[in-house]
Amino acid sequence: MTSGGEARLIDVELDESIGRSTPDIEHERAVAIFDLIEENSFRPVGDEIGGPYKLRLSLLEKRLIFTTSRECGELVATHILSLTPLRRVVRDYFMICESYYEAIRSATPSKIEAIDMGRRGLHNEGSQTLQSRLEGKIEVDFITARRLFTLVCVLHWRG
């Protein structure tokens, strides 16, 4: 953590480029944002003043744009992250989530547990990929990377 302020997010905003969706998906986005703000470790690399920070996410083609500002609104940094390296794991994560929700209705507890372990494993893989893609740009701990990955997934969820 920097000496000048907190290394954490206090607000996450989705730009209008993200678009709005069904009430269920909007609810999932709100929950993902709430969870991210509730517990996180977030610091743009090279920022000596420190936070707390506000994050604005927007989409441009197949890129996620992270615009970070201080609590007062002063711009700290903008980073553009290609979503292509995450595409496979997000797709696989959605498929296993569908299997998991289907299994909850009819499968044995051991099958549900096995699918859930796979689901958690894919979530961890996506989180690690995201954390490594942010390396050198934004320092995040693994919990924050997991919560950011959840938010990225919800941004892609079509219901």
Confirm if 29 and 154 have CB atoms less than 8 A apart.
Answer: yes
φ/ψ of residue 4, rounded to 5: -85, -10
Q: In this predicted structure, what is the pLDDT of residue 144?
A: 94
Give per-residue pLDDT as tens, 51-77: 899 999 988 888 999 999 999 999 999
CA-based torsion, 157, 92, 8, 77: positive or negative? negative
Cα–Cα distance between 14 and 99 in angstroms, integer? 29
Structural domain boundaries of the chain? 9-156
Tokens, residue 146: 């997991």
Looking up tokens 């490594």, which residue turns up?
132
Give the model confidence (pLDDT) of 113-138 as tens digits: 999 899 899 999 999 999 999 999 99
DSSP state at residue 62: T
Answer whether residue 2 shows pLDDT above 50.
Answer: no
